[in-house]
């Protein structure tokens, strides 16, 4: 891809905006269209685009397999643990109300954390999938 | 006649589903089978989304002055189903890659004939 | 304090444990986590079962949202029994997995195995607790996806093709189920199963409902390998690692049978499923074909794992036959067999795992004379095999007893005769193995095989003991099955 | 209370013995001592119950309830007492005999042999004492399974094939017919307890009684009613002690015992005669009696001939049950005892001949009687008892069965019994006669050809002893076949037991009134 200068420049240019958009979708998700799934995919898309243009290795330099794997597990864990916190606070599983003094704020906080967990997992999974297929060597 | 074409979205669903199933059954290439499976699943996505639509309703985002919204629940459901579909496809492709490595082919007939000899 | 949260605990314990396995990565840590998680959820299931038996159906509102809006977890006697089966088998299989050959094979990545295993457990348990139709599909797919992974871990390269085939068939089945759930939602506007059941009669049984019914039955039949939709099962179970075969054979198809029961009896209702639509007849016919054809195929197989896999297809036939009677006794028999078959197939596959561990094959000729070198292992096989045949004092006998009684009560003599005839075929295929292991000389190179290690033998023997125990002390499964059958029949 | 303990002990002791035999597997002497001691103790336990039964009591033992109303329970009544006595007593004798035989024959896998033997006895006792049909069924299946390894003992292809026939017929009949019959009974009558007078009266259509009876009679494959008798001759590949105890005593007697139990306590004799449901059974049993005798005539192999003789004798008992009169039922029950002693003597003799001379075919036994006079004399006693001539036990049971036939106005069966007795003479006496016919000089030539004979008649468990022959050169049996001229009497451990049972035949004639007194309560 060395020769395609336009692609390289455009990619570099777009990269931060895609990330930003992903974060917007992520954090806006609890009171507008959006959420963890979409945000995760968009986030992953930015890295996939990057690695398509600059090579998988350079992308993996930023996000090595270990981190992605931790992301997959960590996101899921975050989601599950939010529920457990609710349990410990005396409410039903995933009933966020008691997470703050005011029920509405608690709900906000809860859904935010859950969506964050989803986002992290989805992004990590998407990237792992891409990297795994892209680096597969036949031998 | 109106009934017949008025429900065109279901016709799309049926055509997609049949096409997908046909590919799964008729193709010997493992990747084509997966593609067929995806088409088949896509038909279900369309099915869900189309019956989430309420006539005259708008997108289910709270707006002033709008009373009729489409039903958002099928969308949410199908989002989950899409995720499941993606996972299935990824897993299927991973299997195909492994199969290709072990057998050197991804054609069903070749694989069967190889296993027949072993 | 956590007592009222038990219904959700059974699923979130494995759900939390699965990512922990990945985070800790070490072989021993992952093993420890998996062990704690499975045993923990088994303990929860046991308490739930006790509670359900004492005070009736449990209901739990996820997120604190009341049922029609939120997802409800709903556990009656049937769900509790399924929970017990799944988590019980899981608890026996988890310690077994550590030493089974699989882990030598992917030594450094054994945490992946445990992760997939726990997710599969979580999915199966989830199906068994949820009261929400779509949620059921999601959990079903969690379990299916992880079981594809587990099967593909097999030693033989044919495990890959088997897993792929299962993936295709399983996904088609699951998609059929989603279509059905979608149509039901369209008809009733709700996803809560109890709610659907309530609204369906008001809505009327129009073409949408009938289509939903058809899609559901076919989809579930694919998932539970009802003859003739069973093609994926024999390969999947025979090439999967033995641990996985034991776990899946004992649980996965059982959960699918549960889905069939739940939908036919609770959601659609007995009246619609069996009076308005003639479901019982095709189900019975398929069940009978399933009892015979795979059994006969099993008699000619040389790979013992495949023999057992075909036998599993046949045993599904017994369960469906019990359902097809649509009587109290018939349902009790079907549900009992669900429980008992989990015990016997689990035991048998675990035994084969031990055999494979030592001689690297499950071929019937390679197993010749094995009783001399591995007496405890083969004795366990005899125990499980006798239960499969249905010898008195074993669990298998109890379910067969009820099944025949159900046939006689209905006056279906020919069916009673067919049931016994097919269990005679089981004698043949089990006896081929026993005859080979006990009354033949071992092959040259296998004269000095050692007995399997205790870590493999103990789990297998626990299940064999379970077969005998529940063949003598039947009150627990029988009372649960009867309660479940009553609630299923009374639900319409 | 303490009688319950004896019931339990009688069933559990052999199982404990099994474990101990297993633990002493590598030490033959210890293993055999354990076998003998266990058999002795078991017999004592059974004997402890006898006074109680003679006094008219019926001790019971309830173990556990398997399903609601369906329990494992034991109840000792006269018929079962008789069967238990015979089985446990003959076990002692057979143990001694088996030690002599198995050692003389250098059989492999002896530990498994003794273990399965003990389990089989335990289950036979459980059958004898069972308090309901369900318990009986369980023990019946255990008996089938535990005797299977005995049948396939030699592990040759032929033995395995025989084992398949054995297991195939017994399992398919018991699961396929008997279990259905039991469940039907359970569904109709709501109980399976053995109740005097039966439990089915008024619970089932008269027309269906025939069907149910059919299920039971052909379900009890061990009774070897034609045409499901094939397993019995097939099982003769087993070592002779097995054939003797299991196929002359425990297994087949368990079959006919079950037949009598079912007729007396499930259907009820009166119910059967009222409905006439058992008439077909009389004819089938009568036909079996005659046909099996005719087949026996054609068999040259001694054990096969005895096997068909057993088939025919078992049919006597089934016939007695089918007649369902008080005389015939007592006669049938007595015949269990009489035939057990007679037939086990014959089998012991067959085994002794085989150990001493390696001969299995009757045509080879010319002049052998001069060499083995004790064995052949005992054979005569056993044969006469089976034929039913005084002063031997068999005469009484035939007498009562004939009386029963007269009571039931089925005179044709008296004729059947008489013809069958003649046939018995025709196939049993020649064996004895041949032993003493022919000049002794002929032995010279016979011995020269003895190795050929091995090749020709190498079936029926002979493979094992060939191997044994060449392995060890110390044993007398081996010496006998090798050095030709020195065919002598079988080992003492073989001869003494067979004389005990032969004397038993005489004793049963003399003390039959006592037997009659014990059994008569079953028809009241």
Does the distance separating the beta carbons of A81 and C8 come in below 8 Å?
no
Does the distance separating the beta carbons of B47 and C164 come in below 8 Å?
no
Query: How many contacts does A have with C, using Cβ atoms within 8 A?
Result: 54
Does the distance separating the beta carbons of C423 and D155 come in below 8 Å?
no
Q: Is residue C37 part of a domain?
A: no
- Tokens in use for C311? 């036998």
Q: Which of the other chains make 3 or more beta carbon contacts under 8 angstroms with chain D?
A: C
For residue D479, pLDDT beyond 70: no
Percent of chain D topping pLDDT 70:
90
Which residue among C393, C408, C439 places its CB closest to the CB of D160? C439
Using CA coordinates, name the residue in chain C closest to B97: C160
Q: Contacts from A14-18 at CB under 8 Å and sequence distance 24+?
A: A14/A46, A14/A49, A15/A46, A15/A49, A15/A50, A18/A42, A18/A43, A18/A45, A18/A46, A18/A49
Minimal Cα–Cα distance from A5 to chain B, Å? 32
Which residue range forms the structural domain that includes residue C477?
278-492
ipTM over 0.85: no
Q: What's the mean pLDDT in C412-421?
A: 86
Does the distance separating the beta carbons of A77 and C19 come in below 8 Å?
yes
D127 CB contacts (<8 Å, ≥6 apart)? D83, D136, D139, D140, D143, D254, D257, D258
Calculate the CA D337 to chain-centre distance. Answer: 10
Does the distance separating the beta carbons of A136 and B100 come in below 8 Å?
no
Minimal Cα–Cα distance from A44 to chain C, Å? 20
Does the distance separating the beta carbons of C64 and A91 come in below 8 Å?
yes
pLDDT at position C180 = 93
Minimal Cα–Cα distance from A138 to chain B, Å? 7
Which residue among C393, C408, C435 places its CB closest to the CB of D187? C408
Does the distance separating the beta carbons of C64 and A83 come in below 8 Å?
no
- Chain C touches chain A, with at least 3 Cβ pairs below 8 Å, answer yes
Residues 8-37 of A with CB under 8 A from B: 32-33, 37
Which range (B108-117, C322-331, D214-223) has the least confidence? B108-117
Which residue range forms the structural domain that includes residue B102?
8-110
Q: Is residue C359 part of a domain?
A: yes
- D78-110 pLDDT, tens digit per residue, is 888 888 888 888 888 888 888 877 777 777 777
Which residue among A32, A136, A139 places its CB closest to the CB of B97? A136
Cα(D188)–Cα(D204) distance, integer angstroms: 7
Residue with tokens 């009568």: D286
Q: What's the mean pLDDT in C382-406?
A: 88
Using CA coordinates, name the residue in chain B closest to C155: B102
Q: Is residue C436 part of a domain?
A: yes
D511 CB contacts (<8 Å, ≥6 apart)? none
Q: Is residue C83 part of a domain?
A: no
For C176, C187, C255, C264, C485, the CA distances from C269, given in Å and listed in that order, are 20, 15, 19, 6, 13
Q: How many structural domains does chain C have?
A: 1
Residues 55-114 of B with CB under 8 A from C: 73-74, 77, 80-81, 84, 87-88, 91-92, 95-96, 98-99, 102-103, 111
Predicted confidence band of residue C431 (pLDDT cuts 50, 70, 90): confident
Q: Is residue B117 part of a domain?
A: no
Q: Is residue C298 part of a domain?
A: yes
* C339 CB neighbour count, 10 Å cutoff: 24
- Residue B51 touches chain C, beta carbons under 8 Å: yes
Q: How many structural domains does chain B have?
A: 1
For residue C254, pLDDT beyond 80: yes
Q: What's the mean pLDDT in C412-428?
A: 86
Please give the mean pLDDT across all residues of chain D. Answer: 80
Which range (C94-103, C112-121, D9-18, D231-240) has the least confidence? C94-103
For C50, D226, D383, the CA distances from C42, given in Å and listed in that order, are 12, 54, 66
For residue B112, pLDDT beyond 80: yes
Q: Which residues in chain A are closer than 8 Å to B101, comparing Cβ atoms?
A: 138-139
Q: What's the mean pLDDT in C477-485?
A: 88
For residue D451, pLDDT beyond 60: no
Which residue among C19, C20, C61 places its CB closest to the CB of A92? C61
For residue D482, pLDDT beyond 70: no
For residue D469, pLDDT beyond 50: no
- Residue D474 touches chain C, beta carbons under 8 Å: no
Predicted confidence band of residue C146 (pLDDT cuts 50, 70, 90): very high
Does the distance separating the beta carbons of D141 and C405 come in below 8 Å?
no
- Residue C153 touches chain B, beta carbons under 8 Å: no
Cα(C274)–Cα(A124) distance, integer angstroms: 48
- Tokens in use for D172? 């398919």
Q: Is the four-CA dihedral D278, D281, D286, D289 of positive or negative sign? A: negative
Cα(D178)–Cα(D185) distance, integer angstroms: 10
- Chain B touches chain A, with at least 3 Cβ pairs below 8 Å, answer yes
Q: Is the four-CA dihedral C152, C157, C160, C161 of positive or negative sign? A: negative
Calculate the CA C295 to chain-centre distance. Answer: 18
Whether the Cβ atoms of residue D39 and residue D92 lie closer than 8 Å to each other: yes
pLDDT at position A139 = 55
- Residue A41 touches chain C, beta carbons under 8 Å: no
- Three-class SS state of D506: helix
Please give the mean pLDDT across all residues of chain C. Answer: 87
- D105-159 pLDDT, tens digit per residue, is 777 777 888 888 888 888 888 998 888 888 899 889 888 888 888 888 877 888 8
- Three-class SS state of D59: coil
pLDDT at position C127 = 92
For residue C108, pLDDT beyond 70: no
Q: Is residue B31 part of a domain?
A: yes
Minimal Cα–Cα distance from C9 to chain B, Å? 22
How many Cα atoms occupy the beta-carbon half-sphere of D416 within 13 Å?
Answer: 26
Q: Which of the other chains make 3 or more beta carbon contacts under 8 angstroms with chain C?
A: A, B, D
pLDDT at position D379 = 87
Cα(D175)–Cα(C92) distance, integer angstroms: 32
Q: Is residue C218 part of a domain?
A: no
Which residue among C137, C163, C175 places its CB closest to the CB of B95? C163
Q: Ranked by mean pLDDT, which of C5-9, C119-123, C242-246, D175-179 comes out on top?
A: C119-123
pLDDT at position C145 = 93
**Integer-rounded Cα radius of gyration of chain C:** 21
For residue D350, pLDDT beyond 90: no
Residues 4-23 of B with CB under 8 A from A: none
Domains of chain A by residue range: 5-134
Calculate the CA C346 to chain-centre distance. Answer: 9
pLDDT at position C107 = 63
- Tokens in use for D202? 């008024």
Q: Which residues in chain A are closer than 8 Å to B61, comparing Cβ atoms?
A: 32-33
Whether the Cβ atoms of residue D509 and residue D64 lie closer than 8 Å to each other: no
- Three-class SS state of C366: coil
- Residue C152 touches chain B, beta carbons under 8 Å: yes
The answer to whether the bond into C212 is cis (omega within 30° of 0) is no
- Residue B22 touches chain C, beta carbons under 8 Å: no
- C31-72 pLDDT, tens digit per residue, is 888 889 999 999 999 999 988 888 888 888 887 777 777 888
Does the distance separating the beta carbons of C134 and B99 come in below 8 Å?
no
Q: Which of the other chains make 3 or more beta carbon contacts under 8 angstroms with chain A?
A: B, C
> First vs last Cα of chain C: how many Å apart?
35
Q: Which residues in chain D are closer than 8 Å to C404, comparing Cβ atoms?
A: 179-180, 183
Predicted confidence band of residue C175 (pLDDT cuts 50, 70, 90): very high
Whether the Cβ atoms of residue D387 and residue D394 lie closer than 8 Å to each other: yes
For A128, B33, C157, the CA distances from C152, given in Å and listed in that order, are 19, 18, 8
Which range (B80-84, C132-136, C263-267, D185-189) has the least confidence? D185-189
- C290-338 pLDDT, tens digit per residue, is 999 999 998 988 888 899 999 999 999 999 999 988 888 899 999 999 9
Higher pLDDT, D243 or C345: C345
Q: Which residues in chain B are closer than 8 Å to C149, comparing Cβ atoms?
A: 91
């Amino acid at each position: 891809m060395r020769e395609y200068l336009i692609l390289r420049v455009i990619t570099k240019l777009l990269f931060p905006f895609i990330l930003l958009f992903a974060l917007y979708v992520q954090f806006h998700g609890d009171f507008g269209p959006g959420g963890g799934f979409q945000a995760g995919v968009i986030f992953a898309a930015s890295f996939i685009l990057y690695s398509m243009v600059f090579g998988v290795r350079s992308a993996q330099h930023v996000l090595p397999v270990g981190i992605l794997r931790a992301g997959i597990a960590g996101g899921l864990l975050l989601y599950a643990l939010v529920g457990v916190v609710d349990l410990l606070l005396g409410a039903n599983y995933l009933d966020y109300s008691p997470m703050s003094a005011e029920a509405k704020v608690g709900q906000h906080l809860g859904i935010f954390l859950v969506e964050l967990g989803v986002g992290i997992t989805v992004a990590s999974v998407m990237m792992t999938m891409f990297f795994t297929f892209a680096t597969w060597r036949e031998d | 006649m109106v009934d017949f074409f008025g429900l065109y979205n279901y016709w799309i669903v049926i055509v997609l589903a049949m096409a997908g199933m046909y590919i799964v059954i008729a193709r010997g290439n493992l990747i084509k089978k997966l593609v067929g499976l995806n088409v088949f699943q896509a038909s279900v996505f369309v099915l869900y989304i189309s019956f989430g639509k309420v006539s005259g309703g708008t997108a289910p985002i709270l707006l002033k002055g709008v009373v009729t919204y489409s039903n958002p629940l099928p969308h949410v459901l199908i989002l989950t189903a899409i995720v499941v579909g993606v996972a299935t496809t990824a897993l299927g492709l991973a299997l195909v890659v492994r199969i290709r490595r072990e057998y050197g082919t991804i054609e069903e007939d070749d694989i069967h004939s190889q296993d027949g000899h072993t | 304090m956590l007592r009222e949260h038990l219904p959700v605990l059974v699923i979130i314990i494995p759900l939390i444990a699965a990512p922990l396995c990945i985070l800790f990565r070490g072989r021993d840590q992952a093993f420890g986590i998996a062990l704690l998680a499975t045993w923990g959820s088994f303990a929860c299931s046991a308490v739930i079962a006790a509670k359900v038996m004492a005070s009736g159906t449990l209901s739990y509102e996820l997120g604190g949202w009341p049922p029609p809006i939120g997802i409800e977890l709903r556990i009656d006697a049937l769900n509790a029994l399924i929970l017990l089966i799944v988590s019980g088998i899981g608890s026996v299989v988890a310690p077994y997995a550590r030493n089974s050959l699989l882990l030598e094979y992917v030594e450094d990545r054994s945490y992946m195995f445990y992760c997939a295993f726990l997710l599969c457990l979580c999915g199966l348990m989830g199906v068994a607790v949820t009261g929400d139709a779509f949620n059921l599909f999601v959990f079903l797919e969690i379990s299916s996806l992880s079981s594809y992974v587990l099967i593909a871990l097999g030693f033989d390269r044919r495990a890959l093709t088997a897993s792929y085939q299962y993936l295709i068939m399983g996904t088609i089945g699951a998609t059929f189920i989603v279509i059905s759930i979608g149509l039901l939602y369209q008809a009733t506007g709700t996803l809560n199963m109890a709610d659907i059941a309530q609204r369906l009669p008001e809505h009327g049984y129009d073409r949408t409902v009938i289509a939903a019914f058809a899609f559901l039955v076919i989809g579930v039949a694919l998932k539970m390998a009802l003859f003739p939709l069973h093609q994926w099962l024999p390969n999947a179970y025979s090439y999967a690692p033995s641990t996985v075969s034991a776990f899946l054979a004992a649980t996965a198809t059982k959960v699918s049978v549960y889905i069939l029961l739940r939908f036919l009896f609770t959601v659609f209702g007995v009246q619609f499923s069996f009076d308005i639509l003639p479901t019982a007849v095709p189900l019975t016919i398929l069940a009978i074909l399933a009892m015979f054809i795979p059994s006969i195929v099993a008699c000619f197989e040389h790979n013992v794992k495949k023999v057992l896999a075909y036998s599993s297809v046949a045993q599904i036939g017994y369960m469906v036959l019990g359902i097809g009677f649509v009587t109290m006794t018939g349902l009790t028999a079907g549900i009992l067999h669900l429980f008992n078959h989990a015990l016997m197939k689990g035991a048998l596959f675990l035994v084969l795992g031990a055999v494979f561990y030592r001689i690297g094959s499950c071929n019937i000729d390679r197993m010749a004379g094995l009783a001399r070198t591995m007496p405890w292992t083969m004795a366990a096989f005899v125990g499980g095999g006798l239960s499969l045949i249905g010898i008195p004092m074993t669990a298998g006998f109890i379910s067969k007893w009820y099944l025949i009684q159900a046939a006689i009560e209905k006056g279906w003599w020919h069916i009673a005769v067919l049931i016994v005839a097919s269990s005679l075929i089981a004698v043949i295929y089990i006896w081929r193995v026993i005859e080979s292991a006990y009354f033949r000389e071992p092959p040259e190179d296998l004269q000095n095989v050692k007995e399997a290690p205790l870590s493999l033998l103990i789990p297998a023997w626990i299940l064999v003991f379970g077969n005998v125990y529940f063949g003598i002390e039947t009150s627990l499964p029988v009372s649960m099955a009867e309660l479940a059958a009553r609630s299923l029949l009374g639900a319409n | 209370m303490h009688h319950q303990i004896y019931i339990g002990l009688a069933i559990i002791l052999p199982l404990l013995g099994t474990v101990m035999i297993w633990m002493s597997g590598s030490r033959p002497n210890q293993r055999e001592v354990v076998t003998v001691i266990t058999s002795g103790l078991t017999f004592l336990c059974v004997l402890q119950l006898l006074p109680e039964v003679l006094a008219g009591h019926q001790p019971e033992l309830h173990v556990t309830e398997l399903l609601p109303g369906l329990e494992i329970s034991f109840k000792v009544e006269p018929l079962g007492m008789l069967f238990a006595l015979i089985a446990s007593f003959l076990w002692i004798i057979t143990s001694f005999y088996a030690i002599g035989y198995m050692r003389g024959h250098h059989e492999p896998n002896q530990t498994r042999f003794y273990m399965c033997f003990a389990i089989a006895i335990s289950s036979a006792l459980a059958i004898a004492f069972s308090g309901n049909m369900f318990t009986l069924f369980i023990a019946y299946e255990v008996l089938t399974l535990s005797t299977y390894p005995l049948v396939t003992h030699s592990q040759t292809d032929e033995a395995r094939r025989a084992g398949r026939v054995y297991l195939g017929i017994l399992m398919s009949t018991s699961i396929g017919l008997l279990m259905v019959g039991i469940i039907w009974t359970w569904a109709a009558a709501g109980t399976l307890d053995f109740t005097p007078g039966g439990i089915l009266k008024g619970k089932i259509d008269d027309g269906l009684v025939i069907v149910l009876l059919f299920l039971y009679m052909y379900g009890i494959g061990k009774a070897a009613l034609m045409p499901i008798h094939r397993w019995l001759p097939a099982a003769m590949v087993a070592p002779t002690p097995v054939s003797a105890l299991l196929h002359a005593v425990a297994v087949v007697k368990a079959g006919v015992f079950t037949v009598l139990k079912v007729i007396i306590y499930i259907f009820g004799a009166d119910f059967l005669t009222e409905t006439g449901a058992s008439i077909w059974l009389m004819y089938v049993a009568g036909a079996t009696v005659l046909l099996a005798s005719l087949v026996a005539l054609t068999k040259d192999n001694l054990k096969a001939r005895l096997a068909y003789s057993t088939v025919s004798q078992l049919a006597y008992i089934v016939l007695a049950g089918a007649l369902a009169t008080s005389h015939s039922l007592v006669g049938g029950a007595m015949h269990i005892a009489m035939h057990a002693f007679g037939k086990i003597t014959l089998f012991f003799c067959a085994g002794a001949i085989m150990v001493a001379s390696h001969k299995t075919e009757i045509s080879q036994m010319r002049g052998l009687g001069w060499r083995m006079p004790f064995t052949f004399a005992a054979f005569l006693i056993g044969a006469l008892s089976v034929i039913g001539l005084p002063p031997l036990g068999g005469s009484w049971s035939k007498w009562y069965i004939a009386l029963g036939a007269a009571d039931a106005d089925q005179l044709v069966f008296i004729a059947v019994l008489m013809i069958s007795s003649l046939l018995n003479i025709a196939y049993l006496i020649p064996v004895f006669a041949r032993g003493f016919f022919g000049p002794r000089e002929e032995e010279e030539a016979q011995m020269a050809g003895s190795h050929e004979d091995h090749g020709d008649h190498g079936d029926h468990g002979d493979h094992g002893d060939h191997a044994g022959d060449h392995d060890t050169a110390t044993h007398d049996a081996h010496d006998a076949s090798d050095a030709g001229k020195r065919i002598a009497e079988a080992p003492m451990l073989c001869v003494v037991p067979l004389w005990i049972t032969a004397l038993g035949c005489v004793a049963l004639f003399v003390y039959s009134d006592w037997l009659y007194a014990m059994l008569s309560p079953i028809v009241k």
